[in-house]
Structure 1
Amino acid sequence: MVMASLIAIYYAMGIKEYILFGALTYLATSFVLRGTLAIQHRRGMKLVRQGNFNDAIPHFKNSYDFFSQHKWIDNYRYLALLSSSLMSYSEMALCNTAFCYGQIGDRQQAVYYYEQALQEYPDSGLAKAGLAMLKAV
């Protein structure tokens, strides 16, 4: 919807390559918004990909704090961040924190964060799966 609006604006302005400009504007805006508003989440994910789970935890906690304080950004992430994710950044932060604790062997903290995710997001499939995995081990 946002990209279509941008394309329509460029079309109305008489820009010859209105589809290209609309798509590029959408892409650039998306990177800037996610790179600024969701920076803690992105830093945490980068550290997880590197296997630095201990270092990732504070970033996910900061991400959770930010999106908890600015719920409107998370609730309207499809506009505020141009993110089509069905899962909120707060839910992702809790589950990612739990996952990191699980990876470093702190089962108690992993369970705590998965349970917190389920308290706030009772339908969280990721938290349910994480808890089930921890209970099976």
Structure 2
Amino acid sequence: MEASTRDTIEQCARESHAGLTSFGALVGRLMQAGIESYHADYRRCDTTYYLPDGATHAVALPAPDAIIPQQFDAAALVQAIRSAQHGAVHYPEFMALSMAAGCVGYMVWIAGRHVSYFGHRGEVHIEHFPPA
């Protein structure tokens, strides 16, 4: 992986975790850097970024110190997603809300234009990117 790609990933992660950038802006920058997908794992407190050639780069994810409920509440998760899409909450708040909804992590499929959110028992909510 090129140093510039790694630098872009780390800068995007810092800005996102600080609530300084929107999901759309983040995805656009990662797409330009050649990132194919990324996985945010709330239980491991890290995010792994994937390139099409198989290269990966993991970044620590400063997650709230909270126990994620066993129950997956898809309606509460969707409400958190909509709040983020409308700019009512930024990433730190989104993390807390999605964790409270029983989400253990998610996979952003940049090339596929959707996000898969996961619960403890394999529940999945798929959220397609809003139209441009």
Q: Which has the higher helix share?
A: 1
For normalisation by structure 1, the TM-score amounts to 0.30
Q: Which has the higher strand share?
A: 2
